Amino acid sequence: MAMVPASQLRVYEPLDSFPEEERRRWARYIEADAPLPRAWSYCETTFHGPGHVGLIYPVSGDHAYVRRVHGQ
């Protein structure tokens, strides 16, 4: 199996930027302090053509990296 260079872009959004119902759901998730999965399920998509680009991305579950800033 060949190792492929990879990177992640994480975009953190303030909890209050979500609609009320979604905000409550994510607030419960945060307060539960749920661990992230040890292994993510990934889906691979490959675009053939000049330069061949392949994408690998998580496909299941509602998980989030949480960052607290000034207690929020």
- Compute CA distances 54 → 26, 27, 48, whole Å: 31, 34, 8
Average pLDDT over residues 53-71: 73
Average pLDDT over residues 42-67: 67
Q: Following DSSP, what letter does each residue of 13-36 receive, concatenated? A: --GGGS-HHHHHHHHHHHHHTPPP
Give just the sign of the alpha carbon dihedral 61, 8, 25, 30: positive
Domain boundaries, the chain: 38-72
Nearest to 53 by CA among 41, 65, 44: 44
Q: What tokens does 8 get?
A: 């992640």
Percent of the chain whose pLDDT exceeds 70: 57
pLDDT at 16 over 70: yes
Q: What is the pTM of this model?
A: 0.57
